[in-house]
A and B are shown apart, each in its own frame.
Chain A
Amino acid sequence: NAGVTQTPKFQVLKTGQSMTLQCAQDMNHNSMYWYRQDPGMGLRLIYYSASEGTTDKGEVPNGYNVSRLNKREFSLRLESAAPSQTSVYFCASKQTGVWVINEKLFFGSGTQLSVL
Protein backbone atom coordinates (compact mmCIF):
# COMPACT_ATOMS: atom_id res chain seq x y z
CA ASN A 1 0.00 0.00 0.00
CA ALA A 2 1.82 3.13 -1.24
CA GLY A 3 -0.20 5.72 0.73
CA VAL A 4 0.61 9.28 -0.41
CA THR A 5 3.18 9.58 -3.20
CA GLN A 6 4.87 12.85 -4.12
CA THR A 7 7.10 13.62 -7.06
CA PRO A 8 9.74 14.87 -7.47
CA LYS A 9 11.69 14.44 -4.21
CA PHE A 10 14.14 17.23 -5.03
CA GLN A 11 14.03 20.15 -7.44
CA VAL A 12 16.16 23.20 -8.15
CA LEU A 13 14.61 26.06 -10.09
CA LYS A 14 15.78 29.43 -11.27
CA THR A 15 13.74 32.50 -10.39
CA GLY A 16 10.85 32.86 -12.81
CA GLN A 17 10.70 29.22 -13.86
CA SER A 18 7.52 27.21 -13.42
CA MET A 19 6.91 23.71 -12.23
CA THR A 20 4.21 21.37 -10.95
CA LEU A 21 4.48 19.18 -7.88
CA GLN A 22 2.51 15.97 -8.20
CA CYS A 23 0.67 14.13 -5.44
CA ALA A 24 -1.37 10.94 -5.56
CA GLN A 25 -3.01 8.85 -2.85
CA ASP A 26 -4.37 5.33 -3.10
CA MET A 27 -6.47 5.28 0.09
CA ASN A 28 -9.67 6.61 -1.52
CA HIS A 29 -9.50 9.71 0.70
CA ASN A 30 -11.74 12.62 -0.18
CA SER A 31 -9.67 15.45 1.38
CA MET A 32 -6.20 16.43 0.20
CA TYR A 33 -3.80 19.17 1.32
CA TRP A 34 -0.61 20.97 0.36
CA TYR A 35 1.67 22.31 3.12
CA ARG A 36 5.02 24.01 3.15
CA GLN A 37 7.47 23.58 6.02
CA ASP A 38 10.08 26.22 6.80
CA PRO A 39 12.54 26.42 9.72
CA GLY A 40 11.02 28.39 12.57
CA MET A 41 7.65 28.71 10.80
CA GLY A 42 6.30 25.22 11.18
CA LEU A 43 3.81 23.72 8.74
CA ARG A 44 1.63 26.17 6.86
CA LEU A 45 -1.33 25.25 4.69
CA ILE A 46 -1.12 26.43 1.09
CA TYR A 47 -4.30 24.96 -0.43
CA TYR A 48 -6.65 22.15 0.29
CA SER A 49 -9.38 20.19 -1.45
CA ALA A 50 -12.27 18.87 0.61
CA SER A 51 -13.53 16.72 -2.24
CA GLU A 52 -13.03 16.09 -5.93
CA GLY A 53 -13.81 19.25 -7.88
CA THR A 54 -13.33 21.69 -4.99
CA THR A 55 -10.29 23.65 -3.82
CA ASP A 56 -9.82 26.31 -1.14
CA LYS A 57 -7.06 28.66 -0.10
CA GLY A 58 -5.09 28.07 3.06
CA GLU A 59 -2.82 30.43 4.98
CA VAL A 60 -0.22 31.10 2.28
CA PRO A 61 -1.77 30.64 -1.21
CA ASN A 62 -0.05 33.53 -3.02
CA GLY A 63 2.17 32.39 -5.88
CA TYR A 64 0.58 28.94 -6.10
CA ASN A 65 -2.23 27.24 -7.98
CA VAL A 66 -3.72 23.80 -7.48
CA SER A 67 -5.71 21.25 -9.44
CA ARG A 68 -7.72 18.39 -8.05
CA LEU A 69 -7.49 16.29 -11.17
CA ASN A 70 -9.56 13.42 -9.78
CA LYS A 71 -10.11 11.81 -6.40
CA ARG A 72 -6.56 10.41 -6.31
CA GLU A 73 -4.49 13.34 -7.55
CA PHE A 74 -3.88 16.87 -6.28
CA SER A 75 -1.16 18.94 -7.96
CA LEU A 76 0.52 22.18 -6.88
CA ARG A 77 1.84 24.59 -9.50
CA LEU A 78 4.34 27.40 -9.14
CA GLU A 79 3.82 29.69 -12.14
CA SER A 80 6.83 31.94 -11.59
CA ALA A 81 9.10 30.65 -8.84
CA ALA A 82 10.63 33.07 -6.34
CA PRO A 83 13.42 32.51 -3.78
CA SER A 84 10.81 32.92 -1.01
CA GLN A 85 9.25 29.69 -2.24
CA THR A 86 12.32 27.69 -1.29
CA SER A 87 10.89 25.20 1.15
CA VAL A 88 9.92 21.60 1.78
CA TYR A 89 6.48 20.84 0.38
CA PHE A 90 4.24 18.12 1.78
CA CYS A 91 1.07 16.64 0.39
CA ALA A 92 -1.38 14.99 2.78
CA SER A 93 -4.75 13.28 2.66
CA LYS A 94 -7.48 12.04 4.96
CA GLN A 95 -10.96 10.65 4.90
CA THR A 96 -13.71 12.93 6.13
CA GLY A 97 -17.44 12.54 6.63
CA VAL A 98 -20.03 11.95 9.31
CA TRP A 99 -19.51 8.20 9.07
CA VAL A 100 -15.74 8.41 9.51
CA ILE A 101 -14.41 7.46 12.93
CA ASN A 102 -10.72 8.02 12.36
CA GLU A 103 -9.68 11.15 10.48
CA LYS A 104 -5.93 10.63 10.73
CA LEU A 105 -3.91 12.71 8.29
CA PHE A 106 -1.45 10.82 6.08
CA PHE A 107 1.59 12.61 4.65
CA GLY A 108 3.82 12.07 1.65
CA SER A 109 7.60 12.09 2.05
CA GLY A 110 7.99 15.65 0.78
CA THR A 111 9.59 17.64 -2.03
CA GLN A 112 12.63 19.74 -1.25
CA LEU A 113 12.51 22.77 -3.55
CA SER A 114 15.26 25.34 -3.96
CA VAL A 115 14.70 28.49 -6.00
CA LEU A 116 17.89 30.31 -6.93
Chain B
Amino acid sequence: KQEVTQIPAALSVPEGENLVLNCSFTDSAIYNLQWFRQDPGKGLTSLLLIQSSQREQTSGRLNASLDKSSGRSTLYIAASQPGDSATYLCAVMNNGNNRLAFGKGNQVVVIP
Protein backbone atom coordinates (compact mmCIF):
# COMPACT_ATOMS: atom_id res chain seq x y z
CA LYS B 1 0.00 0.00 0.00
CA GLN B 2 1.34 3.42 -0.94
CA GLU B 3 2.10 5.63 2.06
CA VAL B 4 2.59 9.36 1.55
CA THR B 5 4.23 11.47 4.26
CA GLN B 6 4.52 15.24 4.60
CA ILE B 7 6.63 16.68 7.39
CA PRO B 8 6.29 19.05 9.16
CA ALA B 9 2.54 19.25 9.62
CA ALA B 10 2.73 23.02 10.07
CA LEU B 11 5.27 25.76 9.44
CA SER B 12 5.54 29.55 9.41
CA VAL B 13 7.84 31.65 7.26
CA PRO B 14 8.38 35.42 6.92
CA GLU B 15 7.09 37.05 3.79
CA GLY B 16 9.65 37.02 1.00
CA GLU B 17 11.36 33.80 2.01
CA ASN B 18 11.35 30.81 -0.29
CA LEU B 19 9.11 27.96 0.83
CA VAL B 20 10.29 24.37 0.57
CA LEU B 21 7.75 21.60 1.19
CA ASN B 22 8.69 17.94 1.13
CA CYS B 23 6.70 14.84 0.27
CA SER B 24 7.91 11.26 0.55
CA PHE B 25 6.26 8.07 -0.70
CA THR B 26 7.03 4.41 -0.09
CA ASP B 27 6.31 2.79 -3.48
CA SER B 28 8.36 4.18 -6.36
CA ALA B 29 6.16 2.58 -9.06
CA ILE B 30 4.15 5.75 -9.49
CA TYR B 31 2.21 6.98 -12.50
CA ASN B 32 2.10 10.62 -11.46
CA LEU B 33 2.30 12.95 -8.46
CA GLN B 34 0.20 16.04 -7.80
CA TRP B 35 0.52 18.97 -5.45
CA PHE B 36 -2.71 20.59 -4.23
CA ARG B 37 -3.58 23.71 -2.29
CA GLN B 38 -6.45 23.86 0.18
CA ASP B 39 -7.75 27.03 1.76
CA PRO B 40 -9.79 26.80 5.00
CA GLY B 41 -13.33 25.60 4.36
CA LYS B 42 -12.65 25.02 0.68
CA GLY B 43 -11.96 22.17 -1.69
CA LEU B 44 -8.57 21.25 -3.09
CA THR B 45 -7.06 22.94 -6.12
CA SER B 46 -4.47 21.14 -8.22
CA LEU B 47 -1.28 23.21 -8.52
CA LEU B 48 1.12 20.99 -10.41
CA LEU B 49 1.10 17.47 -11.83
CA ILE B 50 4.34 15.63 -12.56
CA GLN B 51 4.29 12.51 -14.71
CA SER B 52 6.56 9.67 -13.63
CA SER B 53 8.80 10.31 -16.66
CA GLN B 54 9.34 13.97 -15.68
CA ARG B 55 11.80 15.46 -13.20
CA GLU B 56 10.00 18.75 -12.54
CA GLN B 57 7.13 21.05 -13.40
CA THR B 58 6.94 24.81 -13.10
CA SER B 59 4.10 27.29 -12.93
CA GLY B 60 4.90 30.90 -12.08
CA ARG B 61 6.52 31.02 -8.64
CA LEU B 62 5.89 27.31 -8.10
CA ASN B 63 8.29 24.53 -8.97
CA ALA B 64 7.83 20.87 -8.13
CA SER B 65 10.55 18.26 -8.49
CA LEU B 66 10.29 14.49 -8.49
CA ASP B 67 12.90 11.87 -7.60
CA LYS B 68 11.19 8.52 -8.06
CA SER B 69 14.13 6.39 -7.02
CA SER B 70 14.35 8.03 -3.61
CA GLY B 71 10.58 8.38 -3.25
CA ARG B 72 10.59 12.16 -2.87
CA SER B 73 9.01 15.27 -4.27
CA THR B 74 9.65 18.87 -3.31
CA LEU B 75 7.43 21.90 -3.87
CA TYR B 76 9.26 25.22 -4.01
CA ILE B 77 7.38 28.50 -3.72
CA ALA B 78 9.61 31.46 -4.51
CA ALA B 79 9.35 34.76 -2.65
CA SER B 80 6.42 33.73 -0.45
CA GLN B 81 3.47 36.09 0.06
CA PRO B 82 0.74 36.17 2.73
CA GLY B 83 -1.67 34.93 0.06
CA ASP B 84 0.34 31.69 -0.08
CA SER B 85 -0.91 30.81 3.40
CA ALA B 86 -2.82 27.56 3.00
CA THR B 87 -2.47 23.81 3.40
CA TYR B 88 -0.48 22.05 0.68
CA LEU B 89 -1.13 18.39 -0.02
CA CYS B 90 0.83 15.88 -2.03
CA ALA B 91 -0.90 12.94 -3.75
CA VAL B 92 0.50 9.97 -5.64
CA MET B 93 -1.14 7.72 -8.22
CA ASN B 94 0.45 4.32 -8.76
CA ASN B 95 0.79 2.41 -12.01
CA GLY B 96 -2.30 0.38 -12.85
CA ASN B 97 -4.31 2.10 -10.14
CA ASN B 98 -6.93 4.77 -10.71
CA ARG B 99 -6.73 6.06 -7.12
CA LEU B 100 -4.61 8.72 -5.43
CA ALA B 101 -2.94 8.31 -2.06
CA PHE B 102 -2.79 11.62 -0.17
CA GLY B 103 -0.40 12.95 2.40
CA LYS B 104 -1.86 14.79 5.39
CA GLY B 105 -0.57 18.13 4.20
CA ASN B 106 1.69 20.99 5.29
CA GLN B 107 -0.18 23.90 6.86
CA VAL B 108 1.74 27.02 5.85
CA VAL B 109 1.49 30.51 7.34
CA VAL B 110 3.37 33.34 5.64
CA ILE B 111 3.93 36.15 8.14
CA PRO B 112 3.74 39.68 6.74
Contact = CB atoms under 8 A, between A and B. Distances in A.
A108 B103 CA distance: 19
A60 interface: no
B34 A105 contact: yes
21 contacts: A42-B89, A42-B104, A42-B105, A43-B44, A45-B100, A48-B98, A48-B99, A58-B99, A92-B44, A103-B32, A103-B49, A103-B93, A104-B34, A104-B46, A105-B46, A105-B91, A105-B100, A107-B43, A107-B44, A107-B45, A110-B42
B46 to A, nearest CB: 4
Interface in B6-54: 32, 34, 36, 41-46, 49
A64 interface: no
Interface of B: 32, 34, 36, 41-46, 49, 89, 91, 93, 98-100, 102-105
B99 A106 contact: no
Interface in A61-109: 90, 92, 96, 102-109
Contacts of A102: 49
Nearest to B44: A107
